[in-house]
Amino acid sequence: MLTIELSTGVISVSSEQPTDFNALFEMAERNNPKRSFLFVSKVLGKHIPVTPSAMKASHRALATKIPADLPPPILFIGMAETAVGLAAGVHREYTRAGKQACLVTSTRHPVDGELFCEFKENHSHATDHLIYLPEEPQLREMFLQARSLVLVDDEATTGNTFCNLYQSLSAAGLSNLSQIVTVTLTNWSDGALAKRLDIPVNEVCLISGSWSWQPKEDAQIPVMPSVNVTARGLAPMATQQNWGRLGCKQHTLTLARDYAPYIGKKVLVLGTGEFMWQPFLLGEQLEAAGAEVYLSSTTRSPISIGMAIKCGIAFSDNYGLGIANYMYNIVPDEYQHILLCCETPDAFLDPELLSYLSSGKAALEVIVHD
Q: Where are the domains of the chain?
A: 260-368
* Max CA separation in the chain (angstroms): 57
Helical H segments across 251-369, by residue range:
277-289, 351-357
Please, are residues 155 and 147 in contact by the beta-carbon 8 Å criterion? no
CATH architecture type of domain 260-368: 3-Layer(aba) Sandwich (3.40)
Residue type for 188, please? W
Instruction: Work out the angle at residue 274's Cα, subtended by the Cα atoms of residues 272 and 279, and round it to the nearest 5 degrees.
Output: 60
Please, are residues 295 and 267 in contact by the beta-carbon 8 Å criterion? no
DSSP letter at 262 equals G
CA 76, distance to chain mean position in Å, is 14
| Per-residue model confidence (pLDDT) at position 126 | 52
Please, are residues 340 and 365 in contact by the beta-carbon 8 Å criterion? yes
Roughly what angle, to the nearest 10 degrees, separates helices 277-289 and 84-95?
Answer: 60
**What's the pTM?**
0.94
| Per-residue model confidence (pLDDT) at position 4 | 86
Helical H segments across the chain, by residue range:
21-24, 52-63, 84-95, 137-144, 160-172, 192-196, 277-289, 351-357
Give the count of alpha carbons within 13 A of 134, CB side only: 24
CA 116, distance to chain mean position in Å, is 21
User: Is the backbone peptide bond immediately before 73 cis, with ω within 30 degrees of 0?
Assistant: yes
Stretches in the chain below the pLDDT threshold 50: 123
DSSP 3-state assignment of 271?
strand
Residue 109 CB: number of other CB atoms within 10 A? Answer: 23
| Per-residue model confidence (pLDDT) at position 254 | 92
Q: What is the pLDDT of residues 134-152, one digit of tens each?
A: 999 999 999 999 999 999 9
